[in-house]
Amino acid sequence: MKNVVLAAGYATRLYPLTENFPKPLLEIEGISILDRLISNVDVINEIDEHVIVSNHKFLHFFEKWAEESCYSKAITIVDDGSTVNEKRLGAVRNLVLAIERQQLYDDDLLVVAADNVVTFSFQGFTDYFKEKQTSLIMTHYEQDIKALQRTGVISIDENNRVLKMQEKPLEPDSHYAVPPFYIYKKDDIKFIQECVSEGCNIDAPGSLVIAMLKKTVFHAWHMPGKRYDIGALESYLTFSF
């Protein structure tokens, strides 16, 4: 299994901190957001490589980080070629780029956004994948309707099979929110490319799942801890566990 880390965003809401520096390498309590993520995943036996997608503007920061890192699994940095936010590829196309550039057609893929901090282990996520043997999405219960209107929302059955997904719905069908963490079964990789060619939203991973649900099966794993989205300047400057 490959760990594909989507780190090519420009984090404009964190300016001026991220105007000339990538958000995933900002530190929280002395440890970068990216290191917190990679150290979490690196200990999972099934993972054999970290593939990190960067934009071209911040590529040298990630290359330097990789050179100085001492993780047990290989690290590959993929350059998406963009240099400004207005010409970014979007999360879904960055995923397709990683698949095509690194020929990831015969690997299951753990796909994570690089700007999130979590308090739980991803080991449970990969263990659940081995149990279900389908593509997975993560979910957590969210009471606040306004919060649900800003994220992906799923409906599931009693066996956690995903029945429907909505992207930022005005009228959510459930209280199950979806953070940006996925596992795509290798047999489903072809559907990612198909859905992009068929016109799914290239900047919203949730829209990719909506399209893929017409072609394959997803189950949901219930997140056992907290997840923090370091999205805005205030949330970063005031962050605490």
Confidence of residue 231 (pLDDT cuts 50, 70, 90): confident
Angle between helices 91-102 and 205-212 (to 10 degrees): 70
Lowest-pLDDT choice from 67-81, 156-170, 190-204, 211-225: 190-204
Write down the pLDDT at residue 229. Answer: 84
Write down the pLDDT at residue 239. Answer: 73
- Residue 202 pLDDT > 80: no
Q: What burial class does residue 225 get, using C-beta atoms within 10 Å of its C-beta: 0-12 exposed, 13-18 middle, 19+ buried?
A: exposed
Domain region containing 59: 2-229
Q: Report pTM.
A: 0.94
DSSP 22-76: -GGG-EETTEEHHHHHHHHHHT-TT--EEEEEE-STTHHHHHHHHHH---SSEEE
Write down the pLDDT at residue 100. Answer: 95
Q: Angle at Cα 36 formed by Cα 33 and Cα 39, nearest 5°? A: 145
| Token output for 225 | 């801890």
Angle between helices 205-212 and 189-197 (to 10 degrees): 100
pLDDT tens per residue, range 53-75? 999 999 999 999 999 999 999 99
Mean pLDDT of 109-132: 96
Mean pLDDT of 124-141: 97
Q: What is the DSSP letter of 12?
A: G
Q: Residue 194 belongs to a domain with what CATH number?
A: 3.90.550.10
CA gap 22, 2 in Å, rounded: 22
Confidence of residue 120 (pLDDT cuts 50, 70, 90): very high
pLDDT tens per residue, range 164-181? 999 999 999 999 999 999
Mean pLDDT of the chain: 94
- Residue 237 pLDDT > 90: no
Determine, yes or no, domain membership for 236. no
- Residue 238 pLDDT > 90: no
- Residue 235 pLDDT > 90: no
Mean pLDDT of 134-153: 95
Domain total in the chain: 1
Determine, yes or no, domain membership for 168. yes
Mean pLDDT of 152-166: 96
Determine, yes or no, domain membership for 68. yes
Write down the pLDDT at residue 199. Answer: 85
Q: How many CA atoms lie within 13 A of 209 on its CB side?
A: 31
Determine, yes or no, domain membership for 235. no
Determine, yes or no, domain membership for 237. no
**24-57 burial, b if ≥16 CB within 10 A, otherwise e?**
bbbebeeebbbbbbbebbbebeebeebbbbbbeb
CA gap 6, 127 in Å, rounded: 22
Determine, yes or no, domain membership for 241. no
